[in-house]
Amino acid sequence: MFAKGTNKGFLGWMIFGIAMLALPLFASSATVRIFVFANYIAIFAISWDVLSGRTGYISFGHPFLIGIGGYTTALLTHHLDMPLYITIPAAVLVTMIAGTLFFLPALRIRGTYFALVTLAFMELMYGLVQVVAPDITGGTRGLTGLPSIVTGAVSNYYLSFGVMFTLGLAMWLLIRTRLGTALGSIGMNEEAVRACGLNTTKLKLFAFTLSAMIAGLGGAMYIHYLGSIAPRGLFDVSFLFTILVACLLGGAGTITGPIMGAFFLTLLLEFLRPYIPGSERYLIYGVATLVLYVLQPRGIHRLIQITVNWFVEGFMRRKST
Amino acid sequence: MSYFTENKGFDTLSATSENRPQPMLEARGLTKSFGGLMATKNVSLHVNPGESLGIIGPNGAGKTTLLNLLTKEITPDQGSVFLNGNCIDRLSIHKRVLAGLARTYQVPRPFHDLTIQEHIRVGMMPDGLFDMLLHGADDEKELKIAESVGLGGERAQQYPYELAMGDLRRLELVRTLATEPSILLLDEVFAGLTVKEIDQISELLTNRRATHSTTYMIVSHDLKALEPLVDRVVVINFGEVMTEGTFREVVADTDVQNAYLGTGWEQE
Amino acid sequence: MLIQILLPGLLLSGLYALIAIGFTMIFSVGRVLNLGYGAFIMFGGYIYYQSAQILGLGKVPSFVIATAAGVLLGLIVYVILIRKLKGDAIAIEISTLIFAIVTQAAIIVVFSPSPKSMWPLIPGVLRVGDVIVTYNLVVAAVTSWVVLAALFLFIGKTHIGRAIRAVSMDPKGAVISGIDPDRINLIIWGLSGGLGAMAGIFLATYTQLAPAMWVAPLIIAVAVVIVGGIGSILGGLVAAHVIGMLETITTTLIAAELRGVATMLLIILVLIIAPKGLFGKAEL
């Protein structure tokens, strides 16, 4: 069912899982909170990667999907006092429907144009939320006092990590099936995939719905963790930027790459904080990202691959002499 | 608009006509214009089961457009396509492939990040998503198919950027063969190849024809390479069928010679 | 009522055309989207602010300094970033987007995150009946028309202009006829940087200076390119007016907050219905 080399990768996942499970035993609650944030960014990055990393339909509008999920659960809990075990699945469902809306332009356009339509979707949402029925959506100021799923840093850490790990592993396994190969080939040459007798529309719809599902779940959980929701900060270019850069810096299309990217970005910012407390931190962070991206557009994932290969080859050479 | 008007008005050409076997692939009156330019004008032709048909014609005669119309890469303005006597006008590209009508492209279109074996995997891919998800790849069969075009063993793990033009053509061919076509349309398979590579591809096609009863429609400029591969030739010029016959009949035709003058073909 | 929409709409359209032109040029010639274009605009605005309001160098010299600084920034971005990515459209889009974020971070470091208000280039207002428009916007629109006319002459009449057109129509053909596309692209990026900076000065006096001000003009520029169609500077001009009018109509007749919404709907509709744009010639 899965491609070769899956077992070796599985070992990596187990080590990652055990290390992350043990983390709260050593880390302070402030550090744990940073990791909660990294987990959520990783979930969003996984969602982006399933769609854009694989099929090459670059989404600049992922915050739109995340926001739909977030607003659905926020409105249902805030106005109707519905329990979370109903509102979160409802949010996922609504986001999946929105994902098919997102999909319509992908029937006709791709590349840059597709990216721009999704960006327009995000900006449209930003405008609409503030104007249409602000007494319900909370308008520009948004909604606050939303219920949380669990309380405390450690519980939130385990919850977000559990979801991220499960989704990440599931998607990583998915891309190693034949379905994953088919989705990936769309990103390389869509016409050729069609000429191989595959229904690319069906495959794309699958990728969009799956991506929307993850975005909806992540978005809903994230806003309950924050306890509030507002259009600025959600339908926002810098939020998009964080997701996009996590994926690209990590290595798009690999699932593990975007997770690494999400952790790298979040931890880099936090690591810099004691040395550079001011706004210069963001400048350094941006420049570092830009340099890394231009030097290795295929990301950390590829850098690790190259390093591992280099060590293995060196080891082999020493053995043979 | 309905295309289900199969035999009306086409009685003389009809698939059930007595003295002819039912063609495997048939085009009736295919017409396509781009802007003011007529790329194909009322082109009708057929390929019989097991036959190998060559399509020749000077540059810009509309040969590739014809292939694109047959596979629905582009939709004709007028005319219909029949596969085994059934009108397939409403079938999209991938459905036509599933029905057994597959093609290669003039410029190979590899998947830059997949190995040769993975290309074959995409070609062999089933239609259903669950099928793709739940059943793993058939490693043995993939390698066997790779072997059949001489890309087996270690070579099956190569990536497109490691391949020379001849091997890229072979890769394109093997990916298409993996879809198990009953009729294969080949667009300029010899373009950009060395003499040795042409021989290899040619041998491969001949062998394939002997072992599987694949029907071919081969578009080529290279008349010399085409000659041993085809049973019959259709000449296209200015988007129209000019003449047809055996290879010898066609190249002896003075009109064909005139159409080709200056395009490199000289009778020996 | 009509004049209430027509006059401000026309002037706003002029500003939008100026904002979009530098972006359209890069897209027409290099077929890549410079998502860092907003940074040129913001950069121009801040340099002008520094020069005119902090250092007190006077309006006209400041205008020249800011425009020249924009040209320089355009050239730098081309040389250190774009040339390295060798026409990979997606990589260019993403790296220019990162560049915009870097510029934003740099602006925050140098000028602090709080917004700054700019003095108008020419103070005062123009009254036509009961319609009031600022001289500032009038100057912006007039400058825009002058610049656009100059650009038309430059592209139509000069040798470099013809080379630019050749590269935009057929880069390979241009190489054969002895044009160096790299040099043309360098020129275009420099011009784009200068035009962007100039537009930034007007935009900043029309609204205000803020480190996140690059997003809105970028989206306007994108909308103009999409609606106008690729490779069509004239189409872009028409599109800028369509969008400017549409926004004025929405803000005057419906609600001021809906300004962006109308533009976004227009982008989505055009991209889905006519992906080539209203005047575009090229395929996707």
pLDDT tens digits along C146-200: 988 888 888 888 888 888 888 877 777 777 777 888 888 899 999 999 999 999 9
Is the confidence at residue C3, as pLDDT, over 80? no
Binary contact (A185, B111; C-beta < 8 A): yes
Radius of gyration for chain B, computed over Cα atoms and rounded to the nearest angstrom: 19
What is the pLDDT averaged over residues A67-74?
94
- Determine the pLDDT at residue B197: 86
Could you tell me which of B20, B24, B30, B7 has the C-alpha nearest to residue B241?
A: B30
Chain C residue numbers with beta carbons less than 8 Å from the beta carbon of A265 are none
Chains that touch B (3 or more CB pairs under 8 A): A
Among A124, A140, A249, the strongest candidate for a mutation testing the C interface, having the largest count of C CBs within 10 A, is: A124
Residue of A nearest to C99 (CA): A290
Distance from C-alpha of B69 to C-alpha of B207, rounded to nearest angstrom: 28
Per-residue pLDDT reduced to its tens digit, A72-103 = 999 999 889 888 898 999 999 999 998 888 78
Q: Which residues of chain B have pLDDT under 70?
A: 1-20, 261-268
CA–CA separation, C233 and C243 (whole Å): 15
Q: Is A148 on the interface with B (CB under 8 A)?
A: no
Chain C residue numbers touching A283 (CB-CB < 8 A): 102, 105-106, 108-109
**Which residues in chain A have their CB less than 8 angstroms from residue C222's CB?**
116, 119
Chains A & B: contacts with CB separation below 8 Å = 92
Q: pLDDT averaged over chain A? A: 87
Contact at CB, B125 and A188, closer than 8 angstroms: no
Q: What is the mean pLDDT of residues C52-60?
A: 85
Alpha helices in chain B (DSSP H): 63-71, 93-98, 116-124, 129-134, 139-148, 165-177, 195-211, 223-226, 247-252, 254-260
d(CA A309, CA A132): 55
> pLDDT for A133-168, tens place per residue?
788 888 888 888 888 888 888 999 999 999 999 999
Contact (CB<8Å) A109/C113: no
pLDDT at C259 over 80: no
> How many whole angstroms separate alpha carbon B147 and alpha carbon B149?
5
Q: Which fold has domain B1-100+185-268?
A: Rossmann fold (3.40.50)
Q: What is the pLDDT of residue A185?
A: 92
Task: Name the residue of chain B whose CA is nearest to A180's CA.
Answer: B133
Q: How many CB atoms lie within 10 A of CB A182?
A: 27
H/E element holding B45? strand B37-47
Nearest CA to B77 among B25, B24, B37, B47? B37
Using a pLDDT cut of 70, give the percent of chain C over it.
95
Query: Is residue B57 within 8 Å of residue B237, measured between CB atoms?
Result: yes
| Residue C128 distance to chain A (closest CA, Å) | 31
pLDDT at position A174 over 60: yes
Q: How far apart are CA A320 and CA B162, in angstroms?
A: 27
Helices (H), B125-194: 129-134, 139-148, 165-177
Would an 8 Å CB–CB cutoff place A14 in contact with chain B? no
- Give the pLDDT score at B260: 72
Residues 6 or more apart whose CB falls under 8 angstroms from that of B101 comprise B25, B70, B71, B83, B88, B181, B182, B183, B185
Which of B68, B73, B83, B93 to probe by mutation at the A interface, max A CB count within 10 Å? Answer: B93
- Window from A234-243, B119-128, C83-92, C226-235 with minimum mean pLDDT: C226-235
Specify the pTM.
Answer: 0.86
A29-49 pLDDT, tens per residue? 888 999 999 999 999 999 999
Task: Tell me whether residues A112 and C258 touch, CB distance under 8 A.
Answer: no
A238 touches chain C (CB under 8 A): yes
Cα(B20)–Cα(C18) distance, integer angstroms: 69
Q: Do chains A and B touch (3 or more CB pairs under 8 A)?
A: yes
- Closest chain A CA to residue B175: A196
Q: Is A50 on the interface with B (CB under 8 A)?
A: no
| Amino acid symbol at C187 | I
Cα–Cα distance measured from residue C56 to residue A10, given in angstroms and rounded to the nearest whole number: 64
State the pLDDT confidence band at C48, using cuts at 50, 70 and 90: very high
This model of the complex carries an ipTM of: 0.84
A197 interface with B at CB cutoff 8 Å: yes
Domains in chain C: boundaries: 2-7+18-213
Of B133, B136, B179, the CB nearest to A196: B179
A184 contact B CB<8A: yes
pLDDT digits (tens, 9 = 90+) for A271-304: 888 887 777 888 888 888 888 888 887 888 888 8
Is 1.10.3470 the CATH classification of the domain at A6-320?
A: yes
More confident residue, C277 or C224: C224
The verdict on A294 touching C (C-beta cutoff 8 Å) is: yes
What is the predicted pLDDT for the residue at B267?
A: 42
Residue of C77, C81, C94, C273 best to disrupt the A interface, most CBs of A under 10 A: C94
